[in-house]
Structure 1
Amino acid sequence: MNDEHDFREHAGFWIRLGAVLLDGLIIHIPIAIIFFLITGDINTEWMDTWVYTLLNEAYLTIVPVLWGGYVIGKRICGIRIKRIDGKKLTLLTMILREVIGLYLLSMVTFGISMIVSAIMVGAGKQKRGLHDLIAGTYVARNNY
């Protein structure tokens, strides 16, 4: 990345949090309703299963590669994941970002990496979390 890069393009903490919350509502509430209709139970233990984790990580990893850096929440909020070098997102880039940089790093650090990343996105000039640094990505606002 060169010094001429326009950091105003980078999406900050609140818009990224909004996108994550929207994804949660749009993806998880319908699943919970389907689960309730099938079982008659409002239990959310299904979210603690390896199947749910695998499906969620697959969504967060594969959809941005196929959909130009977007997942549903990011599309609604007008932000998307981009590579710092300007190239197209690849499956390897997204595995580094989502699986290694977010999921596994969070597990190994007992969530501390998530707090550090939130501070970096909220207060840093580049608005990039640890997962972005690992993968060479950032989250861009569409109006730039």
Structure 2
Amino acid sequence: MLNPVGFWARLGASLLDSIIIGIPLSIISFLLIGHWQESPITSLGNLLYSLVVPVMWTGYTVGKRILGIRIVKLDGTKLGFGTMLMRVIVAGFVYVVTLGIGLIVSAFMVGLREDKRAIHDFIAGTYVTSNPPEE
């Protein structure tokens, strides 16, 4: 693992993604449904964004790209939908089942561990790096 990325950069990328993707999805939801609250449109849009964009864009999301960080597999192979399903869906399930405690533990893991891997990284066999993709 080369140049693992810590808590603040990962949090910043998540916040950027929330703003960049969340606002347009909220506007679309408002236009179609008539309210600003969480809707199936925003939930599905966020889920698809989290699953598809990193696979299609060599581990980047828009927020990660702005900050120059990306998700990579430990073994160096290309991210696939199975990996992202494990990272997003299975890890999300773990976080819900643990009533958010797993998410808090993950934040501490990213902040304190030398390899900067969270629970979702262990589940999916990934980590977040500042290295650009190899040409």
**Shorter-chain TM-score category?**
0.7 to 0.9
Q: Which runs of 4+ in 1 moved over 2 A?
A: 30-36, 49-55
- Partner amino acid, structure 2, of 1:136: G
Is the Cα contact below 8 Å between 2:22 and 2:42 reproduced in 1? no
Kept in 1: contact 2:26–2:42 (CA 8 A): no
Aligned counterparts, 1:1-144, within 5 A = 5-6=1-2, 9-36=3-30, 38=31, 43-45=35-37, 47=38, 49-101=39-91, 103-142=92-131
Structure 1: which 5+ runs fail to align? none
For normalisation by structure 2, the TM-score amounts to 0.88
Task: Tell me the distance in 2 between the aligned counterparts of 1:69 and 1:121.
Answer: 18
Whole-angstrom distance in 2 between the partners of 1:85 and 1:66: 18
8 Å CA contact retained: 2:74, 2:126: yes
Which of the pair has more CA radius of gyration?
A: 1
The one-letter amino acid paired with 1:120 is M
1:33 deviation in Å? 3.7
Letter in 1 for 2:77: K
Native 8 Å contact 2:86 2:123 kept in 1: yes
- Mapped partners of 1:16, 1:68: distance in 2: 16
Superimposed CA distance per residue, residues 4-43 of structure 1 (whole angstroms, 9 cap, x where no aligned partner): x44xx0010000000000001111122334445x37x6x4
Matches of 1:142 and 1:87, distance apart in 2 = 15
Asked if the contact 2:58/2:79 (under 8 Å) is kept, the reply is: yes
The answer as to whether partners of 2:87 and 2:120 remain within 8 angstroms in 1 is yes
| Superposed displacement of residue 95, structure 1 | 0.5
**TM-score, with normalisation over the residues of structure 1?**
0.83
